[in-house]
Amino acid sequence: MNPTPRIALFHDLSGYGRCSLTVVLPVLSSMGGQCCPAPTAYLSAHTAYPASDKAVFLDMTDQMAGVAPHWRELGASFGAIYSGFLGSERQIGVLQDFIRAFRQEGTVVLIDPVMGDYGAPYRTYTPAMCRRMGELAAMADVITPNLTEVSLLLGEPYEERPREDTLRRWMDALSLDGRRSVAVTGVHLTDGRVGAACLDRATGRVSYAMAVEEPAHFPGTGDLYASVLLGSLLQGGDLAAANGRAVDFVQRCARRTLELGTPPLEGVQFEPLLGELTK
Ligand code: PXL
């Protein structure tokens, strides 16, 4: 048995401001995965920083398309395939081909349908990309949308605080008749607490993990959440347990960041707490 699951990672590399690969790699390595990144883009900083004519955005679609043939030649196989922020519409087709080629019995395909936040798409995401993201997400075993992404995937109006019955209806629709598991982030059921709802396709059960809501918003927490969730699933946890661990870890990183007083745009200080994930 290979105790180290190999994970193919399709995310951008943002140089400044913690998100995507600068979060995903340390978290999944700490949780015992062998990380194999195929960067979708290089950005000098994540897109939550104000737009600037000095910002670097290198679309790596051509390089990404060249990865699969080489990995095939090397005989690579993967216990998980995990994607996040994509740099172009064409990357979605590249990724779909990759999943068709490399998915095996037991491979966990986690698609984080990263498209936007606060009810609006990120500025690099076109309507065509958002449509195609739905087609990519249809191939997943697990998806981890926030509420903005739920509305983009389902074509439903954005709601900041949907009620439990609305969430249940959305998760049922997103599960594609129970074929995929769904974890929705940024959920509030009561004031002062925030967390994630999940529908486990293995049991059909919905569960919630809630934690104290910290009074700040941090970019990259969706990446942190989905990475801890995937790491926990690969360690053998079920979806409800993985959801609980991910929500708890994000909350504690947010708390620590507020104590340390660094700018929210830099993301959460997960580094001091990373050791907890190795246990
Ligand atoms: O965390 C999502 C994300 C990933 N990558 C880039 C981003 C964002 C969110 O703003 O800008 C480049």
CA of residue 114 to ligand 1 center, whole Å: 8
Distance from the CA of 116 to the center of ligand 1, in angstroms? 9
Residue 234 tokens read as: 């690969």
Quote the ligand 1 centre to 39 CA distance (angstroms): 13
Ligand 1, pocket residues at CB < 6 Å: 12, 14, 19-20, 43, 46-48, 85, 114, 122, 219-220, 222-223
Range 242-266 average pLDDT: 98
Give the number of the atom of ligand 1 that is nearest the alpha carbon of residue 47. 11
> Which pLDDT score, from 0 to 100, does residue 279 have?
82
pLDDT more than 90, % of the chain: 96
pLDDT attached to residue 120: 93
Phi, psi of 222 (to 5 degrees): -65, -40
Residue 171 pLDDT greater than 60, yes or no: yes
Q: Is the pLDDT of residue 1 over 60?
A: no
Separation CA 236–CA 253 (nearest Å) = 23
Q: Which of 49, 59, 114, 129 maximizes ligand 1 atoms within 8 Å of its Cβ, making it the mutation to test the pocket?
A: 114
The mean pLDDT value for 131-156 works out to 97
**What is the mean predicted confidence (pLDDT) over 212-230?**
97
Can you tell me the mean pLDDT for 198-216? 97
What is the maximum span of the chain, computed from C-alpha positions, in angstroms?
A: 53
Amino acid, res. 271: E
Mean pLDDT of the 175-201 span = 97
Average pLDDT of the chain to the nearest whole number: 96
For residue 261, pLDDT over 50 is answered with yes
Q: Whose CA is nearest to atom 12 of ligand 1?
A: 46
**pLDDT band at residue 124 under the 50/70/90 scheme:** confident
For residues 12-41, give the mean pLDDT: 98
Q: What is the pLDDT at residue 2?
A: 56
Q: In whole angstroms, what is the distance from residue 33 CA to residue 84 CA?
A: 17
Residues near 182 by Cβ (< 8 Å), separated by ≥ 6? 142, 143, 145, 171, 174, 175, 198, 199
- CA-nearest residue for atom 1, ligand 1, is 220
Span from the CA of 233 to the centroid of ligand 1 (angstroms): 23
Write the residue with the smallest CA distance to atom 7 of ligand 1: 46
* Cα separations in angstroms, 14 against 29, 148, 211, 229: 18, 22, 28, 21
CA of 73 to the centre of ligand 1 (A): 31
Q: CA 111, CA 34: separation in Å to the nearest integer? A: 18
Q: What is the pLDDT of residue 78?
A: 98
Instruction: Using the mean position of ligand 1's atoms as its centre, give its distance from the Cα of residue 68 in Å.
Output: 24
